[in-house]
Structures are given as C-alpha cells and as structure tokens.
C-alpha cells in the first residue's frame, strides 16, 4: 500500500486527518486540461501524472496544487468584487435620466415628448418592442432619446370637463371660467364616452387627460332602482293616477294622434298634497308603467331611468355649487336619453330649492337656483327628452316662474285617501299570504281574502268614526264657523302602512311567546291605530297655524286658527283619553 493512503480528498481540496502527512495521490484526478500550459493546475496535474508513484516530489506537487487552487479562488473573488464596485461607481456617477410625457408620433421612430413645459421631437430606441400610448411616461437619456416606457402616472390633479370639442379634445376649467385648459385624450380615453361635468385626472404637465374619475355622485347621480310597481299597488289615488295617465302616458303612446291635433305635449308635472299620501310612489309607478306601456304599444325595448332628487341634497354653501349640480343632473338625464333610456327626473321637496325668490340676502341661494332651473327646463323638448316631475307638500311656496305653463304644465293634486281609498291601501298591506287570527279566519270560511277584507273594513271604520276619541283638530274660519277634524281626516298611506306593521309586530310577539298558531287579529289593528296616534309625534306639536296648514286642505286665507285637541282639553271637555 502507498505511503499516501492515509489522506482523503473531497472536491479537489485536501483535508488532512493526521498532521504532517503527505496528500494522497489517488484523491486528485488528473485535470482534463492538463495539456494547456496556461492552466497552472493543469500543468501541475501533468507533472504529477509524469512522476513515479514513490517519487518524494509528488507530495510537494500536491501541496503546490492546493495552494494554486486557493489563490485562484481568491483572485476570482477579488475580480468579482472589483467588477461589482465598478458597476456601482458607474451607476452613482452616471447622469440622471429625464422623464417626459408621450404625446404622439409624427412618423415612425419619432416621438413627440413634453418635458418640463418644453416639447421635443426625439428618436425612439428601436429595442422598445411595446407601442407607446399617448399620455404614458417615457424615460429619456442624455440625448433625449426615448429608451423606456414607465406607464401612466398614478397621481395628478383632477379637473372637470366643461366642454367637449369636435376633434375629441377636452376643455377642462374651473367653475365660472376663471381658468381653463384644453387637453388631449390619452389612449385609455380615446374611445370612452365622456360628458360635461365628468371628473378626469390630468398629468402634472397639464397636457393629457389620463383617467376618468367616477365619484359616488357621478356613478349614480341619484339613480334609483324602480321595482315592479303596477298602478294597482297605488291605493286610494284613482283621480291622480288618471290625471298622470292622461298627461304623460297618452302623448308618448299615441304621438301621431297628438301631432295630428297639433297638441303641445307638456314638459313637467307637479304632484302636490299632504305628506305621506304617495307622491313618490306615484312618481316611481309612472316610470315603471310608462316604459311598460311603450313596450306593449310600440314593441320597442325601452328602459326607464329614475333620477330621484331630494331638494336639500342640491343645496351647497359654496357659491355656484348648487347651480352646477342642477346643470349636471339635467346633463346626466339627457345623456341617459341618448343611451336609449327614458329618464324620469323626480325632484322631491321641490319647495326647498325652487321656493319663491326674495330680495333679501338670506334668500340669495334660491334666487340663483330658480333661474338656473328655468333655463334647463327651457332646453327640454317636452316628454321626448326628459320627464320632469316635482313633488311638494307646499306648492304655494314654489316660485311662479317654475309653475308657469311651458315649464310645469300640469299640477296634479294627491289627495288624502277617502274611506274607500283607505280600505284599498289596507288591502295592499294586508296580503292574502299573511297569517291571520285562526278564530277570525274560521268565521270567514277559512278564506284569507275574506278575512283580510273584514279586517281592512273594521280598521277603516275605527279610523273614520266621528267620536270623541278620534277628535284631533279644531279649525276656526274667517266666517266664524269652526270645523272639527278627526283622525280619518288626516289619514295617509304612510300612516296606514305603519299601522299594519304595528299590528304584525304585536301578532309576531304573541306567536313567539305562546308558540301557537297565531296571526293578525282585529284587536291587533285597533291597538295599532291607537298606538300610532298616541305614541308617535306624527303631527306638529305646536299650535302655530303655519305648521298645521302644511297638513290641511283648507284654504290658508280662510283659516284664522288651528287648535289641536290636546289631552288636557279632552279631559276637561269630554273626559276622553289622551290623543296626542
């Protein structure tokens, strides 16, 4: 056995087990490049291969080979560190690249770039494979050559479109025209449909419109989904519904006949009357039934767009903002019409924004809103453009310029329901699928429909009974006559809906407690009527005549005083229980 068999090597690196021992000859394979004299390790391997096995110089050659390998490794690490340092030094000493905005290409290979307020025609690096988009940020070298595409900027100022130019450019400006600029559209906005009042994000150089910003207000513009609401779901308003059909449905369903008679279709409608009597429901039902009627008669697919505006939502403390919102709402309605929709602009509580103008400073906001609304109404081509419906509890407070013929052509009063109308409304809420009191239903042949009719009749009789318990108001007239108003005289659809809900709640609690087959009974409805008028502040708590006239159908000029029947007066006069 050789004297070098005590040594073992791994990965061409000798690892000595005992000290002062020669490296093993068998651990070193001869390098495949031993013939290359420029390779030191290869040369040593060649010498080892040429020496005899017992030659003492083989030990020294093995040691020399190990030292050469270690020094070559150190040299390679030093070389890599130097190259890395050179790269870092090159980066930190290189000049900064400029960033510009790409505006287009006059010809292939040439870019129109805006940098810091200056425009340049520069070359495009042919190695850029992606096509550049208008508005994207580009990287420029020292020679202002485009060498990179950085994409669209993620931030920037926001402006509102004030005008759409014929060539697709956008005019963006501050309100009242104090400052305006014309922008190019980015490639992202080339095919996008924009309209007046839309918000867009602009690049920091104010050259290109980059993005359409959809705010909460713009996404909906107070749009509401209208559920299926046929006319039969509006109870107690037969006259108002008939007037709506004559004024709105007929001109749109029979346009040829109206054209033959040279009949000018109305532009707008006013629904006025006491609160809670269904003005908003009638507006929604108009949108649903009119589009349904158009589909049936014309065969065309028409979709409604119900824009519900609550008057106070438009009011804004900043000068000009309320007027801007009015313009944007009408612009949105016209845009919906272009898209194929039939827009219904329903303005609730119209007296709050379209009230009578005053000369005082306090009413300056109304004084500017009314003319703006009038100008927008004048730009509407009757029902063929937008259906405008106003709703108000106090039509007498709306400015006469709004209500004149040619703007709001039809005034439809929504009355409080009569006994027959109240019974219809009760039947709408007392549906046949409700659980009724088993004893009551049994006494009516186990028919849910008959039971519901019976309960509705009993509730209406209790509401409209002229007894001391139902006395509510005493109205003194200029003629000296005094009228007594009872609960039934101030009934509304909203109150009836609340009464039915209260009765359902009572029956539900009783069913949970008893765990028996329970349902709505006559006692539940009578108790709900009493609770509705006693526990809740439904009507004004003051004796101010102006407040009460908002709820009554009496002519304000003939009313001298309105006196609520309070609990104290009732006890003093008739000894009846508390009413309000």
pLDDT at 190 over 60: yes
Query: Do 300 and 401 lie in a common domain?
Result: yes
Query: Do 355 and 402 lie in a common domain?
Result: yes
* Structure-block tokens of residue 9: 């090597």
Q: Which long-range contacts (CB under 8 A, 24 or more apart) does 46-51 make?
A: none
* Structure-block tokens of residue 558: 């003939």
Residue 441 resides in a domain: yes
Determine the structural domain holding residue 485 and report its residue range. 419-573
426-432-438 Cα angle (round to 5): 100
Query: Do 281 and 266 lie in a common domain?
Result: yes
At residue 518, φ and ψ (nearest 5 deg) are -110, 165
For the chain, the domain total comes to: 5
Query: Do 199 and 288 lie in a common domain?
Result: no
pLDDT confidence band for 271 (50 / 70 / 90): very high
Residue 28's pLDDT is: 44
pLDDT tens digit sequence for 27-39:
444 444 444 434 7
Residue 234 resides in a domain: yes
Residue 218 resides in a domain: no
pLDDT at 387 over 80: yes
pLDDT confidence band for 580 (50 / 70 / 90): very low
Residue 96: count of CB within 10 angstroms of its CB: 6
pLDDT at 460 over 90: yes
Residue 467's pLDDT is: 87
Partnered with residue 373 across adjacent β-strands are none
pLDDT, mean over the chain: 79
What is the three-class DSSP state of 229? coil
pLDDT tens digit sequence for 212-250:
887 655 444 566 677 788 888 888 888 888 988 888 778
Looking at 213, 232, 254, which one is the last position of a domain? 213
Q: Which of 414, 505, 425, 507 is nearest to 459 (CA)?
A: 425
Residue 578 resides in a domain: no
Residue 399's pLDDT is: 87
pLDDT tens digit sequence for 526-571:
999 988 877 655 555 555 555 566 566 666 667 777 777 754 444 4
Looking at 168, 187, 213, which one is the last position of a domain? 213
For CA atoms 332, 338, 340, 346, the dihedral sign is positive
Query: Do 374 and 230 lie in a common domain?
Result: yes
Query: Do 145 and 165 lie in a common domain?
Result: no
* Structure-block tokens of residue 136: 């994207």
CA–CA distance, 230 with 244 (Å, rounded to integer) = 13
Query: Do 293 and 341 lie in a common domain?
Result: yes
Query: Do 368 and 277 lie in a common domain?
Result: yes
Strands 303-310, 341-348: pairing is parallel
Query: Do 483 and 566 lie in a common domain?
Result: yes
Distance of CA 454 to the CA centre of its chain: 45
Query: Do 473 and 531 lie in a common domain?
Result: yes
Mean pLDDT of 201-218: 80
Residue 549's pLDDT is: 62
Query: Do 351 and 386 lie in a common domain?
Result: yes
Residue 269 resides in a domain: yes
The backbone region for 497, taken as left when phi is positive above 0, alpha when psi lies in -120 to 50, beta otherwise, is alpha
Q: What is the DSSP letter of 222?
A: T
Mean pLDDT of 431-441: 90
Percentages (nearest 5) of helix, strand, coil residues in the chain:
45, 20, 35
Residue 580 resides in a domain: no
pLDDT tens digit sequence for 82-133:
999 888 887 777 778 889 999 999 888 899 999 988 899 999 988 887 788 8
* Structure-block tokens of residue 487: 């609960």
The domain that holds 168 is classified in CATH as 2.40.50.140
End-to-end CA distance of the chain: 121
Residue 461 resides in a domain: yes
The domain that holds 239 is classified in CATH as 3.40.50.300
Residue 77 resides in a domain: yes
Query: Do 385 and 453 lie in a common domain?
Result: no
């Amino acid at each position: 056995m050789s004297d070098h068999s005590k040594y073992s090597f791994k990965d061409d690196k000798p690892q000595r087990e005992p000290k002062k021992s020669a490296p093993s000859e068998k651990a070193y394979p001869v390098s495949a490049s031993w013939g290359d004299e420029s390779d030191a390790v290869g040369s040593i391997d060649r010498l080892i291969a040429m020496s005899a096995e017992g030659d003492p110089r083989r030990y020294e050659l093995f040691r020399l080979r190990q030292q050469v390998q270690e020094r070559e490794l150190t040299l390679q690490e030093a070389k890599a560190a130097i190259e890395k340092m050179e790269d870092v030094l090159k980066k930190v000493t290189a000049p900064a690249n400029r960033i510009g905005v790409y505006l287009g290409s006059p010809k292939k290979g040439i870019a129109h770039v805006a940098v810091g307020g200056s425009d340049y025609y520069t070359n495009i690096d042919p190695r850029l494979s992606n096509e550049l988009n208008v508005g994207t940020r580009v990287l420029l070298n020292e020679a202002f050559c485009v060498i990179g595409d950085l994409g669209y900027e993620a931030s920037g100022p926001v402006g509102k479109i004030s005008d759409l130019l014929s060539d697709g450019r956008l005019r963006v400006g501050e309100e009242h025209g104090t400052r305006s600029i014309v922008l190019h559209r980015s490639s992202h906005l080339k095919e996008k449909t924009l309209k007046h009042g839309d918000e867009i994000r602009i690049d920091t150089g104010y050259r290109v419109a980059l993005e359409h910003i959809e705010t909460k207000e713009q996404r909906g513009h107070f749009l509401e989904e209208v559920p299926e609401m046929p006319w039969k779901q509006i109870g107690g308003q037969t006259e108002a519904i008939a007037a709506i059909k004559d004024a709105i449905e007929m001109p749109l369903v029979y346009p040829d006949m109206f054209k033959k008679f040279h009949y000018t279709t109305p532009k707008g409608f006013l629904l006025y009357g006491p609160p809670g009597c269904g003005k908003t429901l009638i507006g929604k039902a108009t949108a649903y039934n009119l589009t349904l009627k158009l589909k049936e008669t014309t065969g065309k697919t028409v979709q409604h767009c119900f824009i519900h505006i609550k008057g106070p939502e438009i009011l804004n403390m900043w000068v000009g903002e309320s007027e801007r919102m009015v313009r944007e709402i009408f612009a949105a309605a016209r845009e919906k019409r272009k898209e194929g929709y039939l827009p219904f602009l329903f303005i609730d509580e119209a007296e709050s924004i379209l009230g009578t103008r005053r000369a005082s400073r306090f009413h300056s906001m109304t004084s500017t809103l009314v003319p703006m609304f009038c100008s927008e109404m004048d730009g509407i081509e009757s029902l063929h453009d937008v259906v405008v419906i106003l709703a108000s509890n106090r039509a007498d407070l709306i400015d006469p310029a709004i209500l004149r013929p040619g703007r709001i052509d039809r005034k439809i009063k929504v009355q409080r329901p009569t006994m027959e109308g109240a019974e219809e409304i009760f039947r709408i809420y007392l549906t046949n699928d409700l659980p009724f009191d088993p004893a009551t239903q049994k006494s009516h042949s186990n028919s849910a429909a008959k039971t519901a009719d019976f309960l509705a009749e009993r509730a209406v009789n209790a509401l409209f009974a002229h007894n001391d318990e139902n006395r509510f108001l005493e109205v003194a007239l200029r003629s000296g006559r005094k009228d007594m108003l009872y609960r039934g005289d101030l009934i509304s659809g909203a109150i009836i809906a609340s009464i039915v809900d209260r009765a359902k709640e009572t029956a539900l609690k009783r069913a949970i407690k008893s765990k028996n087959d329970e349902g709505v009974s006559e006692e539940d409805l009578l108790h709900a009527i009493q609770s509705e008028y006693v526990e809740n502040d439904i009507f004004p708590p003051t004796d101010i005549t102006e407040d009460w006239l908002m709820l009554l159908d009496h002519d304000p000029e003939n009313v001298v005083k309105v006196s609520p029947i309070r609990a104290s007066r009732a006890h003093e006069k008739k000894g009846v229980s508390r009413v309000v």
